[in-house]
Structure 1
Amino acid sequence: MKLKIFSCFLYFFIPFAAFAEVIDFKGKVVDAKTNQALIGATVSIPDLRIAVATNINGEFTIKSIPTKGRFVVQVQYLSYKTLTQTVDFSSPAQMVFVLQPSVIESHEVVITGTPITSGSRSNSTSASVVTKEQLQGSSTNLIDALARQVPGVSQITTSQAISKPVIRGLSYNRVVTLNDGVKQQGQQWGDEHGIEMDQFAAGRVEVLRGAASLQYGSDALGGVINVIDPPTPAEGNIRGEFLTNYSSNNGLSNTSVMLSGNQNGFVCRGRGTYQNAYSFNTPAGRYINSGFNQTNVSGMFGLNKSWGYSHVNFSYFKDNIGFYDAEPGDPLYNDNTSRTIDYPRQDIRHYKIALNNNFLFGSSSLKLDLGYQKNQRRELEDSPTPNLFFDMNTYSLDAKYYLPESHGWHPVIGLSSSLGHSVNLGEELLIPAYDEYSTGAFIYSKKVWGQNTFSLGARFDYIKNKGKAQNDDEGNTIFTGFDNKFSNVSGAMGYTHIFNDVLSFKANVGSAFRAPNPAELGSNGVHEGTSRYEIGNANLSPERSYQADATLEYGSGFITGSFGIYENYIHNFIYASNTNKEQITVIDEESGLPRDYDAYRYGQVNANLYGFEGNLTLHPVSFIHFENTFSYTEAKNTSLNRPLPLIPAGTLHNTLRFEPKVKGLTDFYFYAGIDNYFKQNRIDATFETPTDGYTLLNAGIGATFNMGKQPLKLYVSGTNLTNKAYYDALSRLRPGRYSQEDPTYGVYNMGRNVTFGVYIPFGTNK
């Protein structure tokens, strides 16, 4: 029945768009100084999810573009400034894009994760773009790769395979992760629950910092990580890639293969990725049973036509992660390099299917994303039978209708809705079975005049959480159940001014909210992954955020950089804490022996987070780049006049990168860098311990070899080359995270690691 209703919906819309007049968008890309053609420049239209490379004459053709459409076009070429331009396709004239030679390649990039696609300089949201090339390297997962690249982004880690994103000090359900236009729903409330995504599947990643709840609703207080698939090739072409790498520290091997094509507007893509690692090595030894293996299979098929596009995306993600259930005083390290994962371990499986559409109606359009996800999280103590087993099913809808421009205003109205259903299938219980309903609507408009851009919007949300009551076999209450309803109105304003070609300013103010999640409302049990007893609170109120930020950006031939400040006051901030050293004794069912667990109760305080972030790159000559990024967050529990927990330490990353021209090679580079992490003494002393500052040395080298017409990229990268012994402030394995009674318990972060990689792109360019 659901399929029939949806089919009727599509048949209603497509005919009105199918008769749109179309043109072939033709053009040329040339050098601004010499007027010579640029071969292999990439021309893309993000809102149509299509890209093409210029031929030997610098020319390109993108077929079947609606004549009444206005789209942002992005033109990129190595060693040239990226060009973004809004093109009105009502005029069929051939266009010539003139690129300026520069060492600055990404000073202006397209941002699609905001309500209206636009260039980054005219977008008030503080955003960074991480390219596909930057995601390749010595990272162990997607979030690990982003934390190394983006100022203001860090990660809460559990061993090597699990990283939770932190943006400006906020994490868990306060950061939204998107893929295929659909919110990732993978039990984000858990301390040791990572993001079920393949880092190699992304064409690029946009990181939006600051409250983004206007478009994405509850849970986007801290920001949004928007994972964007690679664009489809132009008609009649295929595109593919093969990549593999190996890391010395943990034996991590990554292999990923992708193939995509476009035949008369029918597009398809398939990818397979496999990762395998044994226990990671620290300066003190290998952390016991910390290996993992990961399998991801994904695909896409659909249509790119004059009426827009309709794509079906699907994926299957499987992750096996080892844990070590140590007591304080137990040995933490050995020399075992077996790839067999022992118990206890996690078995995580995530299934997703999404239908992504963009229907064009002359000067208006409708973006519609429908999704279904099934997340199965098993925690296995000593056998294949899961002790904890969460089975979650989520249905989602997100629609945005773009109205025609009126008096310079570009209005958008949006509607989103989701239904989540979670059940417990394991023997042990932590959170109740629950149903979660949410719906929201927003209106947003943007006006550009001269060098100024102004935007404003408002949103209404309604969320209902219903937890199921449950008793044990003896009639004792395990979960009392809850039935909570939350609603909220939020708003936002943004302003951008471009002073000239090199200097721009942007600022935002707004409010946002987050409803308590089912774990915060109803937990009652031992969470094996965190070795603590968690107790929810059914009377929690929603979090309410009031946020402001401002950023100044500069980009010339010699200096590029940005500096931003922000403040985020959150009323009714929710977190679990262990107060008064409270413990709960639980009888182990197998041994019959008692075990004491620290009790963590969810409560609320008022909080204030503020800080700064930025980057500065110096280009003394064209082939030398001195890159620097920095970030600092101060977070205070204003109700109890003490710091908030799990706040990243201040960081300063310095990298000296050389890109000399070498005959016979392209994209040749080598670099050396140091990562400086400062002391983190601002902690919640009721259950956290401070961490010392440390400095890590990194280096790398790489180049692309042309074997005939086939490029072959080879690279080597090394991290922590001095094998420094350190504890990261956001590592859940650092001292004091499990027991205040034994602060000596702790696991060092990863030691020296060298990664060797190969990347081979291939395809046609007709």
Structure 2
Amino acid sequence: MKFKSLFSFFIAVIFPYFLFAGVAGSISGTLTDVKTGEKLPGGVITIAQLRLSTTTDADGKFSFTSLPSKGRYVVEARYSGYKTQVKTVDLAAGADLNFALERSIVEIREVVITGTPITSSNKSNSTSASSVSREELLTSSTNLIDALARQVPGMSQITTGGAISKPVIRGLSYNRVVTLSNGVKQQGQQWGDEHGIELDQNQADRVEVLRGAASLLYGSDAIGGVINVLDPLVPSPGKIKGEFLSSYATNNGLTNTSLMLSGNSNGFVWRGRGSYQNAGDFKTPAGYYINSGFNNTSLSGMLGLNKEWGYSHLNFSYFKNNIGFNDAEPGDQLYTDIAGGRKLDFPRQDIRHYKLALNNNFIIGNNTLKLDLGYQKNQRRELESADPALFFDLNTFSADAKYYLGEANGWQPIIGLSASNESSKNKGYEYLIPEYDQTSVGAFVYVKKSWDKNTFNAGIRFDHINNDGKQFFVEGEEKFPGFKNRFSNVSGALGFTHLFSEGVTFKANAGSAFRAPNPAELGSNGAHEGTIRYEIGNPNLKPERSYQADATLDFDGKVISGSIGVSQNYINNYIYASAVPGQQITETDEDGNTKNFDVYRYGQVNANLYGVEGSLNLHPAEFLHFDNTFSYTHAQNKTFDRPLALIPAGTIRNTLRFEPKVNGLNSFFVSVGVDNFFSQNRVDPTFETTAGGYTLLNAGIGAGFKMGKQAFKLAVSGNNLTNRRYYDALNRLRPGRLALTNPTFGVYNPGRNVTFSLFVPLNIN
């Protein structure tokens, strides 16, 4: 597919057609207290499907203009101290939309989920999903995945120091979890153990975490779940909104600064953000871990139109990340008593990610066409000196189209098409994976039916993927033999939701999903310095096939709320790299130095994963909250009758939060938290060691206030306040994780850390 031609055709032919098309519609209404009728000024009203947001005026009134004249849209109303309310509006009816909110100890009980095929309230959505707000993301974390893992039950992270976190959902990670940003799947060499997500942790206004297979909508790689990163919505016409935030962390001296501005001038919308992070060596209870600092720079922006025909937004971003690595071998020095400053020594990573996304939502009569076009360039340099040893240059073009037919008698059908093309080149002097081209195409049909207090959804999808690995010789010797693989698959899914009452909802899902083996699994043949192992691929791998089911019960009362869910996932041909005991390969670098690497080969087994996750939140008084989450995953290698590797330990998190009213302050809080991680004794005995349990003490304090008309928020948060010495089960640097030859080699997780943060919202008429 000629993706460049598709971009050009859209810009030159299709886009101008919509520029002046359509008849404008509008929504107006008021926001009031349901009991007293009091007007509520400063409330936030959003239409996520059109990426619009506005606030109520002094009389509690709001309005949206230049909207489509037809269509059904989900509108959300939020106000501090009140229960969030979600309504669906039919623009063709033209009636006012009034919200009467109920005072509530917990403000957000119902949220809009956009990462599923049809945008809807979480109560009518069968997918097990969590929504993490902007405020919850601004915690004492070092990256976006780190922040999510602290908030979402069923989610954890594989870490390599403070800079690198890989998402894990219900025990599945790597290419089994899709990360979306601006409607486009993030493509950045997810196959690597020490390859993180190249996203600015400050950019998200909200993040949705969808647990369970989502291959129906997103194709291969969504076998475990989806992380949907949502940028701030467009402000109402005539306004400029933004934010400034800054923080400092004591453990590694991390400084984080970000500035964002966004505006709307009669439908011409724009946004710009710049962020910078810089950190030195992180400190464990045993000392500072040598050369573990990092720094990253992020620049992003958006230009677009919001008109009666829908919207078209051009998003662009640049993310540069430099990460230090410790080149120690087992027995070498790992720690120092004094931090090594912020200068990074060799070896280190230099990662650059460029992204261009054109997001469109066109109203065509009673139907809607959503079209997302993307281009990404991911450059990963692994440097042992000034010149990169490994240098992967990946270019990805993608197109995703969904055609939403107008709702009729409660039926909402969708037809979807997607395609992508990846091309990876090797530009270093060392080689780990072959150069390759990958092309994928997919199509799906989905339908959702709503009646009474029930919703039912079903869908089917077809995918075809071509992998073409290039043959390559080094000094006359064949390094990569090359491969050509063709994978086709049909996936299906069913979902059901029943609302027993306003506060009790049952959800269930069942279906099949798949994942095609990636080029690294098919063709690796080289020493991977970041993982300290020699990796050998298998060109005969088959696609993973998943059969999964889950069920969740959500309950929501004035004093108690929460959820409990169970999941089962049987995966045929599960792919992972396992060690070959006693087998090593010796490599010689350009300076004549030699190093031994344990050999890891990619193979396949049948695997069974089941688990439980949930939350229990108690609110005995308006000022007192006791929030608890728990998750556990049991994973078995059925082929060899032993535990599956790289599975998180069971976790219980407890947080007690006080929110008393203090004159002159807004949203004042004091919190104390205890995170309990159980021991992980279920490990693959061929190359994993067990990890002991541990408990961490956390605390925080913060408040908002005003100086004149300008609002400010200050917060102080602390993690691992007792400076506990521990190894997390998914810490890649813990003993036995990297090197079989010396299982005593290991690095503790970070010790005590206190973060000071400032947040300044900006509102300009």
TM-score, structure 2 length as denominator? 0.98
Aligned to 2:276: 274
Which residue does 1:476 correspond to in 2? 477
Q: Which residue of 2 aligns with 1:645?
A: 645
Distance 2:100 2:580 in 1: 63
Q: Tell me the CA shift for residue 586 of structure 1.
A: 2.2
**Deviation readout 1:351-373 (Å, 9 max, x if unpaired):** 00000000011321000000000
Q: Distance in 2 between matches of 1:68 and 1:367?
A: 16
1:202-601 correspondence runs (5 A): 202-334=204-336, 335-381=338-384, 383-473=385-475, 475-591=476-592, 593-601=593-601
* Structure-2 change in CA distance of 1:16 and 1:278 (3 Å): closer
Matched, 1:758 2:761: no
- What do residues 120-159 of structure 1 show as CA deviations (whole Å, max 9, x unaligned)? 0100000000111111121000000000000000000001
Distance 1:3 1:697 in 2: 52
Counterpart contact for 1:132–1:200, Cα < 8 Å:
no
Give 1:3 shift: 6.1
User: Please, which moves more after superposition, 170-179 or 736-745?
Assistant: 736-745
Do the aligned partners of 1:67 and 1:91 also contact (CA within 8 Å) in 2? no
Q: Which residue of 1 aligns with 2:602?
A: 602
Residue 102 of structure 2, aligned match among 100, 103, 117: 100
Q: How far apart in 1 are the matches of 2:409 and 2:43? A: 35
CA contact (8 A) 1:13 1:359 kept: no
Aligned-partner SS, 2:521: helix
Contact 1:470/1:479 (<8 A) preserved: yes
**CA distance 1:339–1:125, shift in 2 (3 Å):** same
Q: Secondary structure at the match of 2:317?
A: strand
Take 1:517 and 1:85, find their aligned partners in 2: how far apart are those partners? Answer: 42
SS of the counterpart of 1:215?
helix
- Structure 2 CA distance, aligned partners of 1:85 and 1:337? 55
**Deviation for aligned residue 1:94:** 2.1
The aligned amino acid for 1:518 is P
Does 2:187 match 1:175? no
Distance 1:2 1:652, change over 3 A: closer
Of the three residues 23, 26, 29, the one matched with 2:28 is 26
Instruction: Tell me the amino acid that sits aligned with residue 190 of structure 2.
Output: Q
| d(CA) in 2 for partners of 1:651, 1:3 | 47
Mapped to 1, the partners of 2:764 and 2:259 lie a distance apart of 17
Instruction: Output one character per residue of 1:399-443: Cα deviation in whole Å (capped at 9) or x when no partner.
Output: 100011233210001011000000000000000000000010000
Q: Which amino acid aligns with 1:375?
A: N
Q: CA RMSD in A?
A: 1.2
Aligned partner letter, 1:318: K
Change (3 A) 1:37 1:337: farther
Structure 2 vs 1, CA of residues 7 and 530 (structure 1 numbering), >3 Å: closer, same or farther?
Answer: closer
Q: How far apart in 2 are the matches of 1:363 and 1:440?
A: 25
**Structure-1 residue corresponding to 2:140:** 138
- Tell me by how many angstroms 1:585 deviates: 2.2
Greater than 3 Å deviation, 4+ residue runs? 1-19
CA distance in 1, matches of 2:457, 2:187: 29
Alignment partner, residue 612 of structure 2: 612
| AA aligned opposite 1:554 | F
Between 1:507-516 and 1:76-85, the stretch displaced more is 76-85
Query: 8 Å contact 2:493–2:509 — kept in the other structure?
Result: yes
CA distance in 1, matches of 2:347, 2:309: 52
Deviation at 1:67, TM superposition (A): 2.3
The reply on whether 1:629 has 2:629 as its aligned counterpart is yes
Counterpart of 1:60 (choices 62, 80, 93) is 62
Taking the aligned partners of 1:708 and 1:122, their CA distance within structure 2 comes to 43
After TM superposition, the structure 1 = structure 2 runs for residues 182-201 of structure 1, keeping only pairs within 5 Å, are 182-201=184-203
Measured at CA, do residues 5 and 415 of structure 1 come closer, stay the same or move farther in structure 2, by a change above 3 Å? closer
Could you list the per-position Cα deviations for residues 187-222 of structure 1 after superposition, in whole angstroms to 9, with x for gaps in the alignment? Answer: 000000000001111110000000000000000011
What is the distance in 2 between the residues matched to 1:581 and 1:20?
Answer: 70
User: Where do residues 4-43 of structure 1 align in structure 2 (5 Å cutoff)?
Assistant: 5-9=6-10, 11-12=13-14, 15=17, 18-43=20-45
Instruction: Please state how far the C-alpha of 1:46 moved relative to its aligned partner.
Output: 0.3
Q: Which amino acid aligns with 1:371?
A: G
Which secondary structure does the structure 1 equivalent of 2:331 belong to?
coil
**1:33 Cα deviation (Å)?**
1.2
The one-character-per-residue Cα deviations of 1:148-192 (angstroms, maximum 9, x if unpaired) are: 000000000001100000000000000000000000000000000
Cα distance in 1 for residues equivalent to 2:261 and 2:115? 25
Query: For residues 199 and 328 of structure 2, what CA distance do their matches in structure 1 show?
Result: 29
Residue 459 to residue 30, structure 1, CA distance change in 2 (3 Å): same
Instruction: In structure 1, list runs of 5 or more residues that go unmatched.
Output: none
Work out the CA distance in 2 between the residues paired with 1:650 and 1:5. 47
| Equivalent residue, structure 1, for 2:674 | 674
* One-letter amino acid matched to 2:209: V
Q: Distance in 2 between matches of 1:607 and 1:633?
A: 13
Q: Look up the equivalent residue of 1:726 and give its one-letter code.
A: Y
The 5 Å alignment of 1:733-748 reads: 733-748=733-748
Describe how 1:85-96 pairs up with structure 2 within 5 A: 85-96=87-98
User: Which residue identity is paired with 1:340?
Assistant: K
Question: Do the aligned partners of residues 12 and 294 (structure 1) sit closer, same or farther apart at CA in structure 2, a change above 3 Å counting?
Answer: closer
Mapped partners of 2:664, 2:318: distance in 1: 41
Q: Which amino acid aligns with 1:668?
A: F
Q: After the TM superposition, which of the residue ranges 37-46 and 736-745 deviates more from structure 2?
A: 736-745
Q: 1:597 and 1:622, CA in 2 relative to 1: closer, same or farther beyond 3 A? A: same
Map residues 120-139 of structure 1 onto 2, 5 A cutoff.
120-139=122-141
* Superposition TM-score, scaled by structure 1 size: 0.98
Match of 2:702 in 1: 702
Q: Contact between 1:301 and 1:311, CA under 8 Å: does it hold in 2?
A: yes
Identity across the alignment (%): 64
- Looking at structure 1, the residues matched to 288 and 41 of structure 2 have their Cα atoms a distance apart, in angstroms, of 49
In 2, Cα distance between equivalents of 1:295 and 1:38: 40
Residue 690 (1) aligns with residue 690 (2): yes
Separation (CA, whole Å) in 1 of partners of 2:722 and 2:335: 20
1:66 touches 1:362 (CA, 8 Å); kept in 2?
A: no
Per-residue deviation, 1:660: 1.0
Cα distance in 1 for partners of 2:580, 2:4 equals 51
CA distance in 2, matches of 1:18, 1:85: 29
